Amino acid sequence: MSTKSKVFFMYSPEFVKFCSLLPTNAINKDDDEDDKRNNRSYLVHNLIHAYGLFNNMTLVRPKEATKEDLIKFHTKPYIDAIIQLDQQNDSSDSDDEIQDKREFGLVDDAHYFKGIYSYICNVAGGSISAARMVMINRDKCPVAFNWEGGRHHARAGKAFGFCYVNDVVLCSIELLRAFKRVLIIDIDVHHGDGVEEAFYSTDRAMTVSIHQYGQGLYPGTGDPDSIGRGRGVGYNVNIALQEGASDEVYVSLFEDVVINCCVNKFKPDCIVLVCGADSLTGDPLGHLNVSVAGYERCARMIKNLNLPTVVLGAGGYNAPNTARCFATVTAAFLTDEPLPDDIPEHDFYEFYSDNGFKRNTRLSKRKDYNTKESINILKTKLISNIETHIKQL
């Protein structure tokens, strides 16, 4: 069986065009936001293509999510409000429109933008399509990518934190139609609060979030003592890190808690990996110090589990580093050989000059506030919670 037959990549030029509408995808806010060269989505997909990785995957043009798909998690009033706002031709807001925006969170960091409904239908459609490719090919232990997904902050009836649709939840709901147990692993620097809330009381989905935790970092949730409710007690795991965590700390916790404990106890039938790139060193919104190589090591651990897997994007606010990371993780699921460290020449080549046109990232000199003692205490608490509450399956 060829690699191409079991690795699926959600892509089409039209899909990327609609997903690129997300305001935070713009690299330079003062430049033309419609310019492909000023957009994270185009950097990511062009670098993956430049490395020749498209040749080793089955490219799938994702089907847009329907309103019926969206309301499997989101409330009908929220979706209706977005549709109505998007259909307005008048650029000035009525009092009712202003009230709708406030009620549904379409202000501030998740402000309304023209084309928002097409955007959410494509992002959600990409993740639902990825789930369906995994379900259809489940006997091959497939992997399906949607690098435009991973929007883990959105709630059922409200936009939050640059997230207008929670495609992670919609993807997982779809997977639960075919699989008994789904493990959702979130390595974005921000806590996956919307996903946690959605699955907080179930034992069929285990949510694991490894994130920076502390004063001043959005969303302020993700305490290790938040372990679930009702049937879900023990099935919610928060690996809360302090500022400056490096590969040594990050990868060690990932292996000991996520792989050796969560996977072994929960025994998932499939995995959703929310692979936000803002835990990388140098991200303007995150304050961890993980390298691209650190992400690659975590990705290979997931690959080696040989389980059906959906890989989604998420945050990442240094666009070239995000592209470096997503290309590296894509390759990690395709081959045991690392990608060449030299960035291949392509239309976006000059964006990588900051690091000598290299793929990997150099760690910063940021202080690591995670001591051996604090990590051991955290690890002991997390493993104890899991072993105490999760029945051996």
Q: Give the integer Cα–Cα distance in Å for 278 and 56.
A: 27
Give me the residue label for tokens 């065009």.
Answer: 17
Angle 360-362-363 from CA coordinates, rounded to 5° = 130
Collapsing DSSP states into helix, strand and coil, what is residue 184?
A: strand
Among 315, 73, 260, CA closest to 173:
73
Tokens standing for residue 276: 């936000």
Residues paired with 155 in a beta bridge: 158
Give me the residue label for tokens 């835990």.
Answer: 279
Among 323, 330, 271, CA closest to 296:
330
Q: Give the integer Cα–Cα distance in Å for 16 and 159.
A: 21
Q: Give the integer Cα–Cα distance in Å for 242 and 245.
A: 7
Please return the burial class of 389, using the count of CB atoms within 10 Å of its CB with bins 0-12, 13-18 and 19+: middle
Residues flagged as binding site for a divalent metal cation: 188, 190, 278
Residues flagged as binding site for substrate: 109, 161, 317
> What angle, rounded to 10 degrees, do the helices at 76-86 and 116-136 form?
130
For residue 219, whether the previous peptide bond is cis, meaning omega lies within 30 degrees of 0, is yes
Q: Give the integer Cα–Cα distance in Å for 31 and 41.
A: 16
Residues flagged as binding site: 109, 161, 188, 190, 278, 317
Return the DSSP state at 343. P
Task: Report, as residue numbers or ranges, the catalytic residues.
Answer: 153
Q: What share of the chain is helix, strand, coil (3-state, %, to 5)?
A: 45, 15, 45
Collapsing DSSP states into helix, strand and coil, what is residue 71?
A: coil
> What angle, rounded to 10 degrees, do the helices at 95-103 and 76-86 form?
140
Q: Are 32 and 20 in contact (CB under 8 A)?
A: no
